[in-house]
Structure 1
């Protein structure tokens, strides 16, 4: 019996073997096709119920299998799973096209859509109908047969290219090791980081210390290691991932992905991929995105240049560095930050034991949204390190299942993300609750110390948990409008707004306690955290803007004239560069957000959402960071509503007005 084809609530990880996946996918696709046939062959006139709702609730088994498989491919993959992904992705792409390009189905949808004004639909039903119609019309339903055929070919090829891109980045990250045998080479590194490097070496059967390109290993070395040559070696390895002209090189993949996306957009009647994507975003057009990015660029650039000059002067005075290079940035920034604020991440880390921070984020959620998290051992997990929770509200109602996976492993991609194993929806009178997961890559515990987080890791945990809350607190009828199924430039609001609590005394007192003494974080440290929050904000903003501009440079133009990935990237970065260029590095070849993830033409949304989050949190600051009335308003109008209405309508219902960019500029200290 294939466990993936049985009826299950939580994912049956212990029973699933790799060989179960492909047969399960094939059978679930057949069943989903049969459900579509039942809709198209229905003799009754097309209605909202027999066409739109029937389509919405079709293929649920396939969706569950897909979520389990692709989540494992991100968090616990191996060569066999990657091979299955390469086989399955084109089939899923073809299946998706079979539905979108099904003329009989589209005809029924079109009929219902044409009657929409006389159907007396709820707002959520109207949104669903609009979304279904657009998902067909925007994906080729109105095309001629030859163009539909080409669209299928493009989609099949893109699905494989994106997977290949991600596999190459993961392979490059996994294979690189900097093996050190002289302890002097670790000069400057805190004891905990040295111990972690020694533990890593030992786990690989090597003497000495190992430094890798995983963030918990890479970032501390770049921040603290005195040896400039070794920092350079590591920075060049990190910056040149999938840019070596070998079997893991992504240059050709980047060019092909950009070109195919452009061709696809043209087929569908759009000028560029960005025009296609942004039609369904709050930003609406590439012109608006450029306007937004350039407005911030004008404000941030003078501040960034001033900060960079200050950093250069500081490095020169301290170590006679003539020219500041990319591998010097983190090191001297940290030194300058310590000098100015007497604030060192190492002084903070003892107050941020991982378990305490998890407990803290749960307490914040309880105070704001009346949630209780109960760790349980009766839910299956895909790895021993995963923690599982049942989430209830304070009245005892079951809200969600929550998985949390916090440390780097060989089969896990870098970074941090939230995902879902099961969405929330209502069906047959039941409010089906969601299964949500947060995946991060934090420093592990060592024989002498528990897992202690940097402050940056603390904000990452709160950020991903904000996405998690968006999923957990979902309260909609339809799964495709539930939780984080919102416009892409709105999805970062719940996550980024949660980061604000990390800077507040009232919140920090709940969990920032010394792991040995239990002492609450001293208030002077809290004050320093707040003061240092805008340290080098100009440079940070410029960096984020450069990524957004690079994204638009690939997707907001006709890329057919681009033949040299590095040259194109250098041109895109020319207005945001502070450091000298390093010819041997290239960001695009490892820019997974836009070439593998869902951020193509959407990287600007991080900054966009910062405007929303600064504006939203200003209300909490005004009324009290744990003000129940404001928190409930945020839960009822933003977190629980998913994509049921236009995000600006939801935001204005919460805030009473549209967000103001000044809120972000003021918080960032960039207002003149």
Structure 2
């Protein structure tokens, strides 16, 4: 049973996850799409001049109806990706894509928006409603509204095919991860790995009816080997399997190969951009972002690379020298990097991830994260029971304002498991909007893939996992703390993609803040706070090998940008040859250590081939500039409460209702500076 008091307070029904079945998905979506089409036809048949109430509000109702039918299907496809849910998702997706293109290319609807923008009523609208209409007119143009009939049809065909290809890319990657495993019977092979990691591997083996240990490519299992296993050949074996996922190389060569999908995705994106009058897909991608041109983005990335590369080379030289001195290793390889980095960090800082882990019991970290947010933004967060979820590990939390009135809810799904997409993400369940019945309050999904708790103890997180949790909750707060009443610019809607990471990366800063850590970093058994010495080492670790981490992200970002900017449709390429050639050139320019020839990173780069980051991966680095500069405002004010409220009211509450740069300037009093990022990462001396 769902909690009726909570539902009354939030003023909308939540998905009944205990009753949703894959076989219900397609009929439910068919019904919604048919109803929407009929209502849209009636709406556009009116002869009267359009107004906000007669045009925008009905369209928002239709959009909300689709979100409630499709949202749970899309979510369950990611977190319970059984064969049945895949069939349901793949049956629904083409229908939804076709409907979306149909609406976005409706000339009568476009003309209605134009008429509203030219009306006397429009002149009385505030900035928020004007932005809703301006964004809609822009999106019509980006959907090919001005194209001739034949080219419109081609746009639709491309859109349908791209949705199919991108879904298949993600499915191949999930299948490749699930299909690979290594059975280890001799515990000596796992020397160096933590007891917790070995217990988790033993539990996976037992679940398969096997003795010994079972290693997988889910990140917690992979990281436990690549960062800690003394056995170098075991590290190399897992590195090769991980680096060749869903590709034409490695232990699963050709079984789930994404190579042909990448080529077709790139070709179709380029064709789509040219149809719309852009020179390449990168230009099209930036049409909805803060950056003005691909060349501007490239200059930003190259400049940062020039600052970071000398530091990265020094980091690598130190790591190689350490491996040589410690173990006589003269052929340092990528599968050695994480292992020796952990050993060097332990020697240099007296710090290891495993030494930190006992201080990061999952429930205490969650509570500590809530305490930060409650202090910063003047809200309350409480766990609630009686709400249906899709798995026993999932919990639900309600957000309350200073008067104790609920205004949002989120689901937290923390642990890795079979048939769950890897990685971590936030997604919307329900969006905020004002309706005749009152305000519809927002609901979010927060999904991670941490190692589940072992018997007799709580789940213990690495510090990296703590950072991941705070990051995703930052996205969630952007969605949940919005005070915008128009759905299309509330929360993360209408926010420039290269600014959408600002709230999430801002939250990461608190994972290194001494006062915050003292509050929640306590030993799971004794309850003792993290010792001052250990706390200091953790804060120092933020800049440990920051050069290597920075050039790695810049490699991904430059590769993505140039891949979409420089695509040549006249050049035929098979098996991802052009992709690898470009990646090699980027690595020659940016990287300080090149991986082996079998490495197939792009084949699993779902951010750009299956997610929303195509020609936009640079957003992570750009948002780091924004978030570091925003956090610097807190440092400069000595963490004045007023600064927290201002961040809430300018960045978080206003969502996409204003231009992202205008909101940042409203908060900071000026445009962003890179100085704080360089200082936080210890790269200032390379400037």
Q: Shorter-chain TM-score: what band?
A: over 0.9
Matched, 1:658 2:671: yes
Is 1:422 the counterpart of 2:422 in the alignment? no
Residue deviations 1:309-355 (CA, integer Å, cap 9, x gap): 11111111111111221101100111111011000111111100001
Please name the residue that 2:6 is paired with: none
Corresponding residue number in structure 1 for 2:653: 640
Unaligned runs of 5+ in 2: 1-10
Match of 1:292 among 297, 300, 308: 300
Query: What is the CA-CA distance between 1:115 and the residue it aligns to?
Result: 4.2
The equivalent of 1:187 in structure 2 is 191
Confirm or deny: 8 A CA contact 2:546 2:682 kept in the other structure.
yes
TM-fit CA distance, 1:56: 3.1
Deviation (angstroms), 1:84: 2.1
Q: Distance in 2 between matches of 1:65 and 1:409?
A: 25
Alignment match, 1:90: 94
The correspondence for 2:484, drawn from 476, 485, 493, is 476
1:378-434 superposed Cα distances (whole Å, 9 cap, x missing partner): 111011110111221231111211110001111211111111110111122622111
Contact 2:116 2:122 (C-alpha < 8 Å) held by counterparts: no
Deviations 1:474-522 (A, max 9, x none): 1111112111121111111111111111111211122111000000111
Distance 2:491 2:52 in 1: 23
Runs of 4+ residues over 4 Å off in structure 1:
115-118
**Structure 2: distance between partners of 1:562 and 1:382:** 45
One of 567, 576, 586 as aligned partner of 2:590: 576
- 1: distance between equivalents of 2:473 and 2:371? 12
- How many matched pairs? 665
| Inter-partner Cα distance in structure 1 for 2:127 and 2:601 | 43
The question of 1:499 aligning with 2:512 is answered no
The correspondence for 1:364, drawn from 369, 372, 375, is 372
From the superposition, tell whether residues 355 and 277 of structure 1 become closer, same or farther in structure 2 (CA, over 3 Å): same
What is the CA distance between 1:448 and its match in structure 2? 4.2
Aligned to 1:521: 530
Displacement, 1:642? 0.6
User: Is the 1:364–1:507 Cα contact (8 Å) retained in structure 2?
Assistant: yes
Cα distance in 1 for partners of 2:149, 2:35 equals 26
121, 132, 147: which one aligns with 1:128: 132
2:447 pairs with 1:434: no
Counterparts of 1:522 and 1:240, CA distance in 2: 41
Shift of 1:580: 3.7
Please tell me whether the aligned partners of residues 418 and 465 of structure 1 are also in contact (alpha carbons under 8 angstroms).
yes
More moved, 241-250 vs 22-31 = 241-250
1:606 corresponds, among 614, 620, 639, to 620
How do 1:13-412 and structure 2 match up within 5 A?
13-115=17-119, 119-244=123-248, 245-412=253-420
Provide the rounded CA distance (Å) in 2 between the counterparts of 1:510 and 1:252: 51
Cross-structure match for 2:545 = 536
Match for residue 3 of structure 1?
A: none
Contact 1:505 1:523 in 2 (8 A): no
Cα contact 1:466–1:495 (8 A) shared by 2: yes
Contact 2:51/2:121 (8 A) holds in 1: no
Give me the whole-angstrom Cα distance separating, in 2, the residues matched to 1:410 and 1:357: 25
Contact 1:243 1:585 in 2 (8 A): no
Aligned residue among 629, 643, 666 for 2:642: 629
Contact 2:12 2:440 survives alignment (8 Å):
no
1:559 Cα deviation (Å)? 3.8
CA deviation vs aligned residue, 1:184-238 (integer Å, no higher than 9, x gap):
1111111111111111111111111111111111112111101111100000100
1:303–1:538 CA contact under 8 A, matched in 2: yes
Q: What whole-Å deviation, never above 9, does each CA across 1:94-153 have from its counterpart, x for those lacking one?
A: 101111111111111122234489622111011000011111111111100000010011
Are the aligned partners of 2:408 and 2:441 in contact in 1 as well (CA < 8 Å)?
A: yes
1:206 match: secondary structure? coil
| Cα deviation digits, residues 144-182 of structure 1 (max 9, x gap) | 000001001100100100000000000001111121111
Task: Supply the distance in 1 between the matched residues of 2:194 and 2:489 (Cα, whole angstroms).
Answer: 47
Change (3 A) 1:624 1:399: farther
Structure 1 position 555 matched with structure 2 position 564: yes
CA distance in 2, matches of 1:490, 1:429: 32
**How far, CA to CA, are the matches of 1:116 and 1:285 in structure 2?**
35
CA distance in 2, matches of 1:559, 1:314: 44
Deviates more, 1:337-346 or 1:422-431: 422-431
Q: CA deviation at 1:296?
A: 0.3
- State the alpha-carbon separation in 1 of the partners of residues 496 and 403 from structure 2: 32
Q: Is the 8 A contact 1:29 1:59 kept in 2?
A: no
* Root mean square deviation, CA, Å: 1.5
Note the C-alpha offset of 1:550.
1.3
The separation in 2 between residues aligned to 1:119 and 1:109, in whole angstroms, is 14
Partner of 2:7: none
